[in-house]
Amino acid sequence: MNHTILPHELPGALDRAPEGVKVLSLDCFDTLLWRDCHAPTDVFAGLDGLSVGQRVRGETQARKLKAIRQRGSEVALGEIYAEAMPNATAGERDAAIAQELTLEARTCFAFAPTVELMRQAKSRGLSIIIVSDTYLDAKQLTRLIEDAAGKEVAAMITRVFASSEAGVSKSQGLLAKALKAMKVQAGEVLHIGDNPKADYESARALGIPALHLSQFSESARSRLRLERACGQFVGDTNEAVRGLMPQRALLADQEPQVSDKAEALGLSVLGPVFHAFDQWLRQEAETLGSNSKGRVHWLFMLRDGHLPQIVHAAGEEAPSTARIEISRFTAIAADLTTREAYERQWMLEAALNPSTLARQMLFDESEIARIVGDPKGERAKAEASQRLQGELRKGQRQKLTRRSSRERAERLINHVRQAVVPKPGDVLMLVDLGYNGSAQDRIDALLAQAFDCHVAGRYLLLREMAASGLDKKGLIDARHFDPELLEALCANVAVLEQLATCATGSVVDYTSEGDPIRTQNSVKGAQSEVRERVQNGVVQYARAAARPPVIREQDPHRERASREAALATLMRFMFLPGTDELEVVKSFEHDVNLGSERMVALFDQAHARAGMRRRGLFYMKGAERMFLPAELEADDIHSRLSLLVQKRFALGLSYTDGSAHSIALSAIVMSDGDGAHTRIEAQRTHEGFFAARVPIPAGAKAVALVVGSVFEWFELAEISLSPIASLKGETDMDQERRNLAPHFDGAREHASGIVECTNPGATLVAFVPPKLDERAPHMIEFVLRPLCTRSASTDALRPNQTTNTIKDAAA
């Protein structure tokens, strides 16, 4: 008999039992009764007047005393609370115990496949016993099962055996006591439990046929642990059960049945998030309808509203739902009807690529070609921007744009009218992923006036950049979480957008009848195919969630549980993605969705190693790639957690905070016939590497770094030229950085990057490229790792210092 059984296989477990079985023996926790939270100790967070640590310590102390006094470690709740509350009265302890039992009943539920197995056992005339290593006694455990799972489940149980009463655990003889009490032989019992030692090995040692219930695979366990850890970063101080994961039972039931990595990502990660979103939307629609007395029209805003819409359709669809195509581009285009809106738009977005800004200001392509042209390089783009701004200041241009905007607004209204026919007083509920509600900002008043309706925006994630005063809410928003947390999540939403979208181009206008006019979809066909498989997994979760493998009497924290679990799942996926998950999205690209077809890679792990060596985690500043934490997946957990902490709490650290020590080096900046000496502090970055940054003054021809006085041997990773502004993220470092060839004087490269300094005066030389744009200050970065230092130069290691130029830039 195969000794492992998966959760969804439990109803057929008796078919794997030998002939003659008379008793079904079940472990209780994580076999029959499961919890909504990640660990049993999460329940203790809801105790009044007792912290989690105090409750845990009380149990530890009680077990220590029991082991010394009676050579056993099984204890009862009363003994635990005697240690946790040593000065409390008996009545106070009884009240505390009662509260813990109440919390357990509100958090526990029966796993439906186990209950179905019990029904099968009863239909075959078998007795059912519960054998549990627990601090509850049999009466308490029986009552807990009844309060959590209902009387029907409790009534199927013949007898309960608890280690706290027997004084021994399953591995110490509790199973043997159960056999004796039930007056059966070992071969007449089938025992099932989730603990491989306490349940399977202990049973088999007595000759009892047994099955080990494998709740989760190791990868799933790791993922859930990390999600629980991310939940800790929320900073929830509510005195309530923590670590809520209402998706655990469904995932245990469904995950083993999915082998495709893309579908698994949808089922296990996005499934719980988008199902929670849909359930919350249903509650919000009900509230909006009650308040308005009119019909609520669900308007899923494509493209990102595609996945929320198909998840909603997988359940009972609301009476009035529609898909509408309103992009940020078309929303802005319909809102340039006033002088103030026109001027604010181009003035606030003046730093955009001039061609992109011209399109957003409704120039046609011939005008863009005439005014902007096709500028190459920063200087040409700056000159094109000046020409464009001159044109935008003209009164005639403003009139043309505002007239075009009014026409576009009418076409947008017609597009919405194609989808729904609202009556005055109805509600238009805009559904989108978020994250600022920018499109709603632009079209709220337009739609409200055109249809005489109330407009409400409902988002998965919402962090408004300004207090708009509009009716906006998010499943995850500032009502429940702090701004720093919301900002950290929003920084990585591009991966979520690409997994939620559909295979259409971005809408840029509408026909007079309201039909959408789209750009060509720039996303690769392979990316769309993978995305559809991910979305299939999400829909599978939503359908399974309509009939969850859960039997329960109480569900008091349902809304909070789904919200907090969605947040923890998103945070884990965004900052600590797994190898299999990144395998799914490794070739994904992201379009900027502002009238531009330019695509940007979500992440590029090839950048991470060199970037970390060059600047540590700060290499990410200014990068256009949109899923940067994914680039650290191959790195150790310390770097990944460091990034998570910095982003989650908006710590605002700088390069100069990154290391306690630096290496003092001399540098010579050479110009025509002259050489200026300076002192440089090479800062520690990553994996033992240091970066020496030398500012380049006007007219400089080369920089020589004196390495021989400090090193006998070193490893050279790279030499590169970058704008100093890239330290602040003001330029895209990957586009602006140029690798420079190394030249050695008094040093010899023995293998690739492995350099010996043959004398103390050895220098590492880099030449400044000709025609360097000196309007933007530049620096040369030398990235190297000491292999063997000169004994006389050990004092070169010193507390971190740096040049004023670099320090000012990094601040």
Q: Do 115 and 123 meet the contact criterion of CB atoms below 8 Å apart? A: no
What gap in Å lies between CA 32 and CA 192, rounded to an integer? 10
Walk along the chain (811 residues) in steps of 10 and give the mean pLDDT of each run: 90 96 98 96 94 96 92 92 97 97 97 98 98 97 98 98 96 96 97 97 97 97 96 76 95 97 98 98 96 94 96 94 96 97 95 93 95 87 94 96 98 97 96 95 97 97 96 96 94 93 92 94 84 98 97 92 96 96 91 58 86 88 81 90 93 76 93 87 93 92 96 97 83 73 96 96 95 83 96 48 42 42
What gap in Å lies between CA 210 and CA 189, rounded to an integer? 8
Residue 346 covered by a domain: no
Pair of tokens at residue 509:
């206008």
DSSP bridge partners of 301: 324
Residue 767 covered by a domain: yes
Residues 609, 636 within the same domain: yes
Q: Do 360 and 594 meet the contact criterion of CB atoms below 8 Å apart? A: yes
- Which of helix, strand or coil describes residue 675? strand
What gap in Å lies between CA 336 and CA 442, rounded to an integer? 9
Predicted pLDDT at 216? 97
Residue 31 covered by a domain: yes
Q: Do 265 and 573 meet the contact criterion of CB atoms below 8 Å apart? A: no
Residue 544 covered by a domain: no
User: Taking Cα atoms as reference points, which of 664, 658, 676 lies closest to residue 711?
Assistant: 664
Residues 79, 165 within the same domain: yes
Please, how many CA atoms are within 13 Å of residue 481, restricted to the half-sphere of its CB?
Answer: 29
Cut 0.85: pTM above it = yes
pLDDT single digits (tens) 376-416 = 877 888 999 999 999 999 999 999 999 999 999 999 999 99
Burial class (CB in 10 A: 0-12, 13-18, 19+), 71: exposed
Residues 639, 755 within the same domain: no
User: Taking Cα atoms as reference points, which of 790, 782, 800 lies closest to residue 689?
Assistant: 782
pLDDT single digits (tens) 715-750 = 999 999 999 888 877 655 566 789 999 999 999 999
DSSP bridge partners of 298: 321, 429
Other CB atoms within 10 A of residue 456 CB: 24
Q: Do 542 and 314 meet the contact criterion of CB atoms below 8 Å apart? A: yes
Pair of tokens at residue 32:
């029959």
CATH number of the domain at 732, please.
2.60.40
Task: Please tell me what DSSP assigns to residue 682.
Answer: E
Residues 153, 181 within the same domain: yes
In our burial notation (b when 16+ CB lie closer than 10 A, e otherwise), range 391-428 reads: bbeeeebbebbbebbeebbbbbbbbbeebbebeeebbb
Residues 639, 709 within the same domain: no
Residues 46, 192 within the same domain: yes
Task: Please tell me what DSSP assigns to residue 118.
Answer: H
User: Taking Cα atoms as reference points, which of 779, 767, 776, 784 lies closest to residue 805?
Assistant: 779
Pair of tokens at residue 416:
């919405």
What gap in Å lies between CA 133 and CA 171, rounded to an integer? 9
Across the chain, which distance is largest between two alpha carbons, in Å?
103
Residues 6+ apart with CB under 8 A from 510: 330, 408, 411, 412, 414, 415, 516, 517
- Where do we find the tokens 């900052």? 575
Residue 400 covered by a domain: no
Report how far Cα 388 is from the mean position of its chain's Cα atoms.
40
> Would residue 153 be called left, alpha or beta, if left means φ above 0 and alpha means ψ between -120 and 50 degrees?
alpha
Q: Do 719 and 780 meet the contact criterion of CB atoms below 8 Å apart? A: yes
Residues 680, 633 within the same domain: no
What gap in Å lies between CA 663 and CA 169, rounded to an integer? 59
What gap in Å lies between CA 608 and CA 629, rounded to an integer? 10
What gap in Å lies between CA 637 and CA 645, rounded to an integer? 12
Residues 686, 779 within the same domain: yes
Task: Please tell me what DSSP assigns to residue 196.
Answer: I
User: Taking Cα atoms as reference points, which of 480, 451, 648 lies closest to residue 564?
Assistant: 480
User: Taking Cα atoms as reference points, which of 67, 48, 69, 65 lies closest to residue 57?
Assistant: 65
Residues of the domain holding 650: 599-654
What gap in Å lies between CA 751 and CA 164, rounded to an integer? 67
What gap in Å lies between CA 714 and CA 252, rounded to an integer? 51
Residue 731 covered by a domain: yes
Distances in whole angstroms, Cα of residue 117 to Cα of each of 12, 32, 128, 170, 209 = 7, 10, 10, 22, 16
What gap in Å lies between CA 148 and CA 163, rounded to an integer? 21
What gap in Å lies between CA 498 and CA 644, rounded to an integer? 22
Identify the H or E element spanning 483.
Answer: helix 483-490
> Would residue 425 be called left, alpha or beta, if left means φ above 0 and alpha means ψ between -120 and 50 degrees?
left
Predicted pLDDT at 167? 94
Predicted pLDDT at 733? 55
Pair of tokens at residue 286:
């009900």
DSSP string, 454-475: EEEEEEEEE--SS---S-EEEE
Residue 575 covered by a domain: no
Residue 563 covered by a domain: no
Q: Do 454 and 448 meet the contact criterion of CB atoms below 8 Å apart? A: yes
CATH number of the domain at 207, please.
3.40.50.1000
Other CB atoms within 10 A of residue 35 CB: 22
Task: Look at residues 215, 246, 261 and tell me which one is the last residue of a structural domain.
Answer: 215
What gap in Å lies between CA 14 and CA 8, rounded to an integer? 14
Other CB atoms within 10 A of residue 629 CB: 21
Q: Beta strands of 303-349 (E only): which ranges?
A: 321-325
DSSP string, 487-533: HHHHTTTHHHHHHH--SSPPEEEE-TT--EEEPPP-S-HHHHHHHHH
Q: Euclidean distance between the first and final Cα of the chain, in Å?
A: 66
Residues 26, 66 within the same domain: yes
- Where do we find the tokens 């004196």? 706
Residues 708, 637 within the same domain: no
- CA quadruple 394, 396, 401, 405: dihedral sign: positive
What gap in Å lies between CA 411 and CA 390, rounded to an integer? 29
- Which of helix, strand or coil describes residue 399? helix
Task: Look at residues 215, 232, 259 and tell me which one is the last residue of a structural domain.
Answer: 215
Give the angle subtended at the CA of 596 by the CAs of 592 and 598, to the nearest 5°: 65
Task: Please tell me what DSSP assigns to residue 37.
Answer: B
Domain count, the chain: 3
What type of residue is 255?
Answer: E
Return the HEC string of 730-782. Answer: CCCHHHHCEECCCEEECEEEEECCEEEECCCCCEEEEECCCCCCCCCCEEEEE
Count of positions (residues) in the chain? 811
Report how far Cα 251 is from the mean position of its chain's Cα atoms.
18
Residues 673, 704 within the same domain: yes
Task: Look at residues 192, 215, 238 and tell me which one is the last residue of a structural domain.
Answer: 215
- Which of helix, strand or coil describes residue 626? coil
- CA quadruple 305, 306, 308, 314: dihedral sign: positive
Q: Do 447 and 430 meet the contact criterion of CB atoms below 8 Å apart? A: no
What type of residue is 356?
Answer: T
DSSP bridge partners of 664: 681
- CA quadruple 74, 75, 77, 83: dihedral sign: negative
Residues 638, 661 within the same domain: no
Phi/psi of residue 450, each to 5°? -65, -35
